[in-house]
Each structure stands twice: as C-alpha cells, then as structure tokens.
Amino acid sequence: GLHAEMWSIAVEGVAENQGITNAVLPPLNDVIDLLATRNASARRHLPSLVVGLLIASALAAMGTVGYGLGLTKNRHRFAAATLCLLVSVSLWTTIDLDFPSVGLIQINDAPLLELHASFVRTP
C-alpha cells in the first residue's frame, strides 16, 4: 500500500514538470525494488535438509569425541568442553542468522520506520 501511495505522490508531483520525471521516478522505482528484495531475502531460509545435516554433523562430531574420550584413561575434559561449546555456538549462530526477525541477532526496522515517518504528510 505504501509503495502505491509513494508512486502516486511522485507521479502527481512530476505531472506538472515533465523535465524532472527521469530524476524522480527511476530512483523511486529502485527504492521499491530494493525493499522487495530485502523482504524476499528475509523470508528465505536454509533448506530443512541443510539444517538437518548441520545438526546431524554436530551430533556425530560430539558423539565421536565422547566415544573417543571414553576409550582413553586420560580424559581431556577442557578440550572436549571447548569443542562442544564451539560446535554448539556455531550451529546456534547459523540458525539464528537464518531467522533475522527472531532470536538474539535481529534486523532492526527503525531506520525504515523513521524514513516513513518523515514522508507522512501533516495536515
């Protein structure tokens, strides 16, 4: 709805002065296209097969380390804990980045909202 409103305001604004049409409409069209690209990329996620493979690989790596430590008499708990922590944090970060609107790592829409507020006409 906002795209249509912005477009109609721009077309109305350049109707009286055709000389500025090329200076106004193509950049506005680019803004609309960029927002559509941004929204599409926010909705696109890793395929379930890839996420499953990442989780299975993490479980296999930690299971192998646990099994290997169980076979030896000299257990390196710090090294095993460090590996488990690194694998877990890497997996969590990958999944959290895949969902930019939820989780700890979020994309903030404040700049877009401020820009929209600056365009709102006051009576």
pLDDT in tens, 22-74: 888 888 888 888 888 888 877 888 899 999 999 999 999 999 988 888 888 77
In 10 A of CB 100, how many CB atoms?
Answer: 15
pLDDT, one tens digit per residue, over 78-103 is 888 899 899 999 999 998 888 877 77
pLDDT at 123: 54
Residue 2 clears pLDDT 80, i.e. is over it = no
Residue % of the chain over a pLDDT of 90: 21
pLDDT at 86: 94
- C-alpha 22/C-alpha 111 separation (Å) is 26
Handedness of CA 92, 97, 102, 107 (dihedral sign): positive
pLDDT at 121: 61
